[in-house]
């Protein structure tokens, strides 16, 4: 039935010079992020810039009809391809069946976000853009060390990954990614290099995991960075005077104090959960510059509640101690964020 439907659709489009939605009789679904690389020179350039060694096991995500897969097989020892669409899986198997590559290609059918990743040395992928953020952090959370990942992203998402302090696109995604990896921009790719063409341009990015991985509690870090980037262009002094922020931090503070007392002074925060896959979420896919809505922020002022005011002063004192009160998240470096988080923790203020 699927084949009949495809033939009918092809027949109805004969009036057009050519259809960008077909290759080898397979229809591509934009809604599923299926945009197949059609420019062989671009494919060659991506493989060349990947630096694949002849001994490498290459992970490919979303191989489609295998245009990039063929070049990866020529360059590396083995390719493990993860593909969700069963039609594409069959096409890959047909394409390489009976060729010298057949015993060096392993195809896994499934959702990459729900699949346990195998061992690999390098990842090279043209991915569905809607999984960009969760996939990035799934890769960075992979327990087996890999050399790097060369991934095609929507251009603006890619530029947020590589953004530096002071850049317009510098955001929570930039900070989270660069804590765990060195990120660099390799290629700008126009939309006409794909079949069917996406609505926006793309970029190829190199992601190289930091070794060793920073010893930071990911939940604590994530809670801290989320607050800092509520409005990245506001001063930290303004952000940490927001009532909801202070209320949450005070609740954490009292909970930890009670826990420490019940454990005779031992810290309840020493058990560090190192799973960082949760850092990538749907919010990272949005292309706005700030999180939150400024008009909805109610700032804690006045001293109606003495205890609340005392805790507020404790929080603000940490900011003022090292001159962070007037600084803005949009300008802070990775080292400054790490330092400020450590200062808060030393004062007994936690974010998870």
Q: How far apart are CA 141 and CA 144, in angstroms?
A: 9
Number of H helices and E strands in the chain, helices first, is: 12, 11
Identify the DSSP state of 72: H
- Distances from the Cα of 180 to the Cα of 149, 207, 279, angstroms: 13, 9, 11
Token pair for 210:
């930091």
Q: Which two tokens stand for residue 3?
A: 């084949």
Question: Can you tell me the distance from the alpha carbon of 68 to that of 110, in angstroms, rounded to the nearest whole number?
Answer: 19
- The answer to whether the annotation marks 185 as part of a ligand binding site is no
Return d(Cα 172, Cα 327) in angstroms, integer.
16
35 assigned ligand-binding residue? yes
Known binding residue 20? Answer is no
Other Cβ atoms within 10 Å of 26 Cβ, number: 18
Alpha carbons 19 and 16: distance in angstroms, whole number: 7
Please name every residue paired with 81 in a beta bridge, in sequence order, or none if there are none. 60, 107
111 is in an annotated binding site: yes
- Joined tokens for residue 170: 């510098």
Q: Is there a binding annotation on residue 169?
A: no
Annotated ligand binding at 283? The verdict is no
- What φ, ψ does residue 106 adopt, rounded to 5°? -115, 120
Contacts within 8 Å (CB) and 24+ apart, 332-336: 332/165, 332/228, 333/165, 334/175, 334/178, 334/179
CB 280 within 8 A of CB 286: no
Contacts 24+ apart (CB under 8 A), 162-166: 162/205, 165/330, 165/331, 165/332, 165/333, 166/330, 166/331
> Taking a C-beta distance cutoff of 8 angstroms, is the pair 300, 308 a contact?
yes
**Both structure tokens of 314:** 């404790």
Give the residue ranges of the annotated binding site.
35, 37, 62, 83, 111, 126
Give the residue ranges of the annotated binding site for S-adenosyl-L-methionine.
35, 37, 62, 83, 111, 126
């Amino acid at each position: 039935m699927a084949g009949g439907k495809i033939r009918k659709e092809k027949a109805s489009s004969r009036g057009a010079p050519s259809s960008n939605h077909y290759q080898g009789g397979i229809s591509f679904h934009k809604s599923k992020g299926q945009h197949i690389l059609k420019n062989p020179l671009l494919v060659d350039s991506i493989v060349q810039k990947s630096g694949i060694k002849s001994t490498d096991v290459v992970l490919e995500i979303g191989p489609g009809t295998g245009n990039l897969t063929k070049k990866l097989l020529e360059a590396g020892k083995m390719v493990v391809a993860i593909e969700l669409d069963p039609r594409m899986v069959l096409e890959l198997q047909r394409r390489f069946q009976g060729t010298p590559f057949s015993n060096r290609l392993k195809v896994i059918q499934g959702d990459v976000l729900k699949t346990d990743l195998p061992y690999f040395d390098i990842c090279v992928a043209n991915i569905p853009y809607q999984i960009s953020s969760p996939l990035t952090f799934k890769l960075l959370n992979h327990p087996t060390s890999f050399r790097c990942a060369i991934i095609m992203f929507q251009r603006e998402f890619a530029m947020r990954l590589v953004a530096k302090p002071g850049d317009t696109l510098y955001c929570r995604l930039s900070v989270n990614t660069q804590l765990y990896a060195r990120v660099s921009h390799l290629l700008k790719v126009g939309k006409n290099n794909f079949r069917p063409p996406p609505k926006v341009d793309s970029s190829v990015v190199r992601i190289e995991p930091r070794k060793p991985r920073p010893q930071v509690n990911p939940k604590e870090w994530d809670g801290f960075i989320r607050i800092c980037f509520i409005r990245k262009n506001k001063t930290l002094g303004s952000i940490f005077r927001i009532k909801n922020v202070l209320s949450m931090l005070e609740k954490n503070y009292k909970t930890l104090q009670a826990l420490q007392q019940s454990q005779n002074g031992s810290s309840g925060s020493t058990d560090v959960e190192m799973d960082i896959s949760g850092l990538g979420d749907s919010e990272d896919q949005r292309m706005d510059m700030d999180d939150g809505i400024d008009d909805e922020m109610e700032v804690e002022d006045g001293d109606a509640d003495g205890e609340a005011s005392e805790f507020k002063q404790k929080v603000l004192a940490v900011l003022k101690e090292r001159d962070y009160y007037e600084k803005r998240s949009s300008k802070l470096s990775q080292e400054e964020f790490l330092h400020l988080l450590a200062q808060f923790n030393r004062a007994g203020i936690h974010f998870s």
